[in-house]
Amino acid sequence: MQAHAGYWTNQLQLGKAIAFGPVADPKGDWGVGIVAAPDQSAVEALRDSDPAILSALGFHYEILPMLGLIART
């Protein structure tokens, strides 16, 4: 998990990640991330390079498009 968090911290610094973090779900542990990517293949490349995915420990992603964003500036 340290390598996973470090990977996403780096993506945040590079401007590819907008936000990420763990979710307090009583049904189980998982996290959410919002990324800025030109297309689906760019998001898949981020996923495929994540140390959690590369660990082969059964982690997985659900990639869903965000139709709009309302944010405080």
Asked if residue 21 is part of any domain, the answer here is yes
Asked if residue 65 is part of any domain, the answer here is no
Asked if residue 66 is part of any domain, the answer here is no
Q: pLDDT tens-digit profile of 16-62?
A: 999 999 999 999 999 999 999 999 999 999 999 999 999 999 999 99
Asked if residue 39 is part of any domain, the answer here is yes
pLDDT score at 23:
97
Asked if residue 61 is part of any domain, the answer here is no
| Dihedral (CA of 11, 15, 21, 27) sign | negative
Total number of domains in the chain: 1
57: Cβ–Cβ under 8 A, 6 or more apart, which residues? Answer: none
Range of the domain at 34: 2-54
Asked if residue 38 is part of any domain, the answer here is yes
pTM of the model: 0.88
